[in-house]
Structure 1
Amino acid sequence: MKIPQSITKPILVAALLIINGVFFSSANNISKTIDPPKSNLISFKIKLKSAQKVKIETAPLKYDKHLAYSFTLDDGYRSAYLTAFPLLNGGKISARAISEWKNDQGGDGTNSKGLFYSDGLGNKIPFKLALAINGGAIGDAPQNRGHLSWDEVKEMYHAGWDILNHGFHHATKHGTNFLTEVTENTTSIQKNLGFTMSQFVVPGGESDPGYQLEYERDALANGSFSVASYVGAGPVIKVDQKVNLDKMIYARTFVQSSKDTITFKTMDRFLATFDSVAKLPNPIWYNEFTHGVGNGDLWNLSMRFPDFKYYMTTIAKKYGSTGNDSIWMAPWQEVYEYIWLRDKVKINYEQKDKEVLVTIELPEIPETFRYRSISLIVDTKSKFEIESKESNIAISSDGKTTHKLINLQFNP
């Protein structure tokens, strides 16, 4: 059949529009170059050893763990670097270290091998915490400073610890400009560390009634996805179903030492609560806070280092890689971003005999997100291998052993 010229010409032009993303005018002259749209679709193949039907679903928590545990150190005290960081990450724990406030922010001077959980594939990952810091207090002076330095914060950040906005001056008193506290701290961390914080922790102290509501409002309106405050969600958050993360406000629970410096009865009470949470039947997210973790109970709002060490090592022995390995010990931001992506990503798969094509549709991920990971639970009795030609995804699995888990890391 002969196609009229009036129909043919638009068809040809439409074809030229598609080729290499170049737009041609009706006179075949290039008038504009259009970049092809970025695809949010990522795919890979699972090569099975048998043709038995496979079921794939997104894990409620990263690495298909039962308990996500987030622990935050408020105020950026130097004991975080001197004691907590080497205890968890591995290294030399500081001995006695008297700060400018005549308080001992050191520890016991021992060497730690680190505390670990696994990625579900046999690889150990150190326990990591979050630091809620005030940029106005971070610096190199005096030599016996009570707060962290920028280099110390940077080292912990690059080791996987997260940095949370805690206001620039930790201001709470009457007359505080809450908006400035939020934004100046954001600018300070951008300037000194090179990234934008996305979670806020309301500072405590002498204040007018309801001041935290102003912090919550200004933080959520200026780049924070969630706020730790006095009243809100948690401390136990169920994650077996979709979680409402939109402008989330969650309630802080503090772990603190008591006057009992000989036994660990106070810590045992906190651990009993922790055990009851860990035994809940469905996957959950649990968060706790404290201030200093040196030998002295800083401001009577902290954990003495012996208590902190006892608390963390007990949790690691029972729930870490040397125990039942059910814990995902990760900072608030990391857990938040996993759940956010988990609830928005679309996973599709199609099986033909021994081959499964998995297609992942990613949402638009905020630029301030640090983590872009998803774990998939694979229900199959067959061993398998992964085949992928995608350059913007890292895939690891236990396909040759227990064949139950696939961990995905998406690159920006």
Structure 2
Amino acid sequence: MSKRILLIIAIVIFGSFNSFSNGIIQKDSSKPKTISFKIKLKSEDKIKIAVSPLKYNKHFAYSFTLDDGYRSAYLTAFPLLEGGKIYNSNINEWKIDQGGDGTTSKGLFYSDGMGDKIPFKLALAINGGSIRELPENRGHLSWKEIKEMYDAGWDILNHSFHHATKHGTNYLTEVTDNTTSIKQNLNFTMSHFVVPGGEGDEKYYLEYEKEALANGNFSVASYYGTGPVYKVNSKVDLDKMISARTFVLSSKDTTSFKTMDRFLKTVDSIVKQSDPVWFNDFTHGTGNTNLWNLSIRFPDFKYYMTTLADKYGAKGNDSIWMAPWQEVYEYIWLRDRIKVDFQQKNKEVIVTIQLPEIPQNFRNRAISLNIETKSKFEIESTKGLKIKNDGQTNHKLILLQL
């Protein structure tokens, strides 16, 4: 076995670029550009550099989405994962309990590979026509609640404006009106679509897929399609992606976690593969009641997520990247389009990365590089570049944030 030590370089690129010493960065972050930086080794040991399949060089990415914008997402799921007070019993306008157990969560985390914890994050598939502030016991989220979760890193996905599926649905306006609604109220443009379920004309979902992809969405989660498990050790076909979705749901058994254990066993079988993978799951509500029998009761949800965190998160083997669909999609899209070069001269290494033209509505602009070296290292100080590294200790990780 090689004695070389894995070094992960994660370059997190946010917003517009400014001047960058030791490299050239154009002002408009959507345009192609080249960035470069210098690694200074403590010895002349030769290094190898390769793009990491997943951010932080994690073994698997798991994306989990809550459909329909039910308020239980804010009352229970968000504080459980982020850390905070979980609401107690909360009976909504439909006489359904969307609350949890009233406890205070310390949060569920994986690490960035340098000791800092990152909370588990999910996505919300939202119908803009259902978002409102009143009544107090409303069943759906408010704009303020959605914004709080979005600001914490949760992704918001287009789920149609009215959740319309029946005969006579105008699929085009359902897609575009929802995009407009979220833009007007939250000031960002959604870029991924989740087909709403329900009664409808035969194969109505095909109409949603067509209109979503024709009107600015990069991918669609639907009844049928590719996946939902993707090997990511090589290029992934993301062009007009239509992915099949699967659900994690509670059963009628309220006395044990046997149903959740079966879902967890499926996760375990997926991540035991030698190749890195990305996969996703869905559900609806996460309150104490199994909403429409298409949800996870909060005790089951808490058990499921806590078990994932204990086994694969910071408390376990730390192999999970628990990130929402859009975040993982954007990482892989960029990963498959960048060009990385490096030149080593004695103890100095110049790394050059050619970035493609990035869509303006991308939220995440991140890439990770794996580098093998025996040597400790440091990064030459660069104006305007925030650097975090453990080059003098474990010498495995450098994080660059612009």
Residue 203 of structure 2 corresponds to 210
Instruction: Spell out, residue by residue over 1:111-156, the C-alpha distance to the aligned partner (whole angstroms, 9 max, x if none).
Output: 0000000011111000000000000000101110000000000000
Residue 395 of structure 2 corresponds to 403
Q: How far is 1:312 from its partner? A: 0.2
Residue 245 of structure 2 corresponds to residue 252 of structure 1: yes
Q: Show structure 1 runs of 5+ residues with no match.
A: 1-34
Instruction: Spell out, residue by residue over 1:183-220, the C-alpha distance to the aligned partner (whole angstroms, 9 max, x if none).
Output: 00000000000000000000000111111111001000
Residue 287 of structure 2 corresponds to residue 309 of structure 1: no
Q: How far is 1:401 from its partner? A: 2.5
Q: How far is 1:70 from its partner? A: 0.3
Residue 69 of structure 2 corresponds to 76
Q: How far is 1:36 from its partner? A: 9.9
**Are 2:61 and 2:321, in contact at CA under 8 Å, matched by a contact in 1?**
yes
Q: What TM-score, normalized by structure 1, do the two folds share?
A: 0.89
Q: Find 1:61's aligned residue among 54, 68, 86.
A: 54
The AA in structure 1 aligned to 2:392 is K
Q: Find 1:100's aligned residue among 69, 82, 93.
A: 93
Residue 27 of structure 1 corresponds to none
Seen in structure 2, the aligned counterparts of structure 1 residues 284 and 175 have a Cα distance that, compared at 3 Å, is same
Q: How far is 1:324 from its partner? A: 0.3
CA distance, structure 1, for counterparts of residue 226 and residue 309 of structure 2: 26
Seen in structure 2, the aligned counterparts of structure 1 residues 357 and 202 have a Cα distance that, compared at 3 Å, is same
Residue 283 of structure 1 corresponds to 276
Q: How far is 1:233 from its partner? A: 1.5
CA distance, structure 2, for counterparts of residue 133 and residue 351 of structure 1: 49
Seen in structure 2, the aligned counterparts of structure 1 residues 201 and 146 have a Cα distance that, compared at 3 Å, is same
CA distance, structure 2, for counterparts of residue 159 and residue 36 of structure 1: 26
Q: How far is 1:264 from its partner? A: 0.5
CA distance, structure 2, for counterparts of residue 54 and residue 44 of structure 1: 15
Seen in structure 2, the aligned counterparts of structure 1 residues 388 and 347 have a Cα distance that, compared at 3 Å, is farther
Q: How far is 1:402 from its partner? A: 2.5
CA distance, structure 2, for counterparts of residue 345 and residue 60 of structure 1: 12
**Equivalent residue pairs, number:** 375
**Are 2:32 and 2:358, in contact at CA under 8 Å, matched by a contact in 1?**
no
Residue 182 of structure 1 corresponds to 175
**Are 2:343 and 2:351, in contact at CA under 8 Å, matched by a contact in 1?**
yes
CA distance, structure 2, for counterparts of residue 331 and residue 39 of structure 1: 26
Residue 122 of structure 2 corresponds to residue 129 of structure 1: yes
Q: How far is 1:355 from its partner? A: 0.2
Q: Find 2:218's aligned residue among 225, 247, 250.
A: 225
Q: Considering Cα pairs closer than 8 Å and 6+ residues apart, tell me whether 1 or 2 has the greater RCO.
A: 2
**Are 1:377 and 1:404, in contact at CA under 8 Å, matched by a contact in 2?**
no
CA distance, structure 2, for counterparts of residue 234 and residue 36 of structure 1: 37
Q: Find 1:356's aligned residue among 327, 334, 349.
A: 349
Which range moved further: 112-121 or 36-45?
36-45
**Are 2:32 and 2:357, in contact at CA under 8 Å, matched by a contact in 1?**
no
Residue 149 of structure 1 corresponds to 142
Q: Could you say what the CA RMSD is over the residues aligned between the two structures, in angstroms?
A: 1.4
The AA in structure 2 aligned to 1:156 is M
Instruction: Spell out, residue by residue over 1:352-375, the C-alpha distance to the aligned partner (whole angstroms, 9 max, x if none).
Output: 000000111110100000000111
Secondary structure in 2 matching 1:344: coil
Q: Could you tell me the percent identity over the aligned residues?
A: 73
Residue 232 of structure 2 corresponds to 239
CA distance, structure 2, for counterparts of residue 325 and residue 376 of structure 1: 18
Q: How far is 1:407 from its partner? A: 3.5
The AA in structure 2 aligned to 1:373 is A
CA distance, structure 1, for counterparts of residue 383 and residue 98 of structure 2: 48
Seen in structure 2, the aligned counterparts of structure 1 residues 229 and 36 have a Cα distance that, compared at 3 Å, is closer
CA distance, structure 2, for counterparts of residue 208 and residue 395 of structure 1: 54
Query: Is the radius of gyration larger for structure 1 or structure 2?
Result: 1
Secondary structure in 2 matching 1:333: helix
Superposition map of 1:377-388 within 5 A: 377-387=370-380
**Are 2:127 and 2:161, in contact at CA under 8 Å, matched by a contact in 1?**
yes
**Are 1:376 and 1:406, in contact at CA under 8 Å, matched by a contact in 2?**
no
**Are 1:91 and 1:112, in contact at CA under 8 Å, matched by a contact in 2?**
yes
CA distance, structure 2, for counterparts of residue 125 and residue 313 of structure 1: 15
CA distance, structure 2, for counterparts of residue 235 and residue 36 of structure 1: 37
**Are 2:111 and 2:314, in contact at CA under 8 Å, matched by a contact in 1?**
yes
Residue 341 of structure 2 corresponds to residue 329 of structure 1: no
Q: Show structure 2 runs of 5+ residues with no match.
A: 1-25
**Are 1:240 and 1:283, in contact at CA under 8 Å, matched by a contact in 2?**
yes
